[in-house]
Amino acid sequence: MKALWIAVIAILSLIGMGLSRPAQADDLQQDCNQVYVKLQVIKGAAIGRRDGIFTDISGDAYYYRVRGGVHYYGCIISLYGNHKEVTGDTGMNDFYTESDNPWAREGWRTDESEDADGPDGTHFKEVKGDIVCLFDGHWDGGEDGNPQYIPSPLFEYDIACGKKVN
């Protein structure tokens, strides 16, 4: 019960501090806008954006699993579509700073502890100062050993950029 009251007081304090729209978030909003503008031009995909609090539970540390993750305030951008209807690349590689690209030249760096890629999806974390962007992509990569399986052409990306609030 004590933990519940602490959580309620913390949330009310954040609201009272105006965290629903932080004054220091100009650079964060610019980064969110940059991601959104880059992705909204992808023909054949739908995109949405909302601002709010999100949680990173992707880390392997005890803290992430037991304490509920790290909470951020920022933007959550969702991009989804059908690979058969999208013309060109979905643009995710433009944000992955392992290669030399404009995103990397602006000071973004990949957190290699949260870098995973596979046949059914991708996850990576980019960091610039106190701003974090989490990139998660999901699609059907098929079934190894079953050549008759026809993978779904649908994909979904969730990109969440924010500043830590806890």
Residue 53 lies in a domain: yes
Phi, psi of 85 (to 5 degrees): -105, -15
As for how many domains the chain has, the answer is 1
166 residues of the chain, pLDDT tens digit each? 444 333 333 333 333 344 444 444 589 999 999 999 988 888 888 999 999 988 875 654 444 445 567 888 999 999 999 888 887 666 666 777 766 777 888 889 888 877 778 888 888 889 999 999 998 888 888 888 888 998 899 999 899 999 998 6
Residue 8 lies in a domain: no
Residue 121 lies in a domain: yes
Residue 143 lies in a domain: yes
pTM of full prediction above 0.75: no
The token pair that represents 99 in the structure block = 């290669």
Report in angstroms the alpha-carbon separations of 165 from 17, 118, 120, 139. 12, 31, 31, 31
How far, in Å, CA of 20 to CA of 107, rounded? Answer: 26
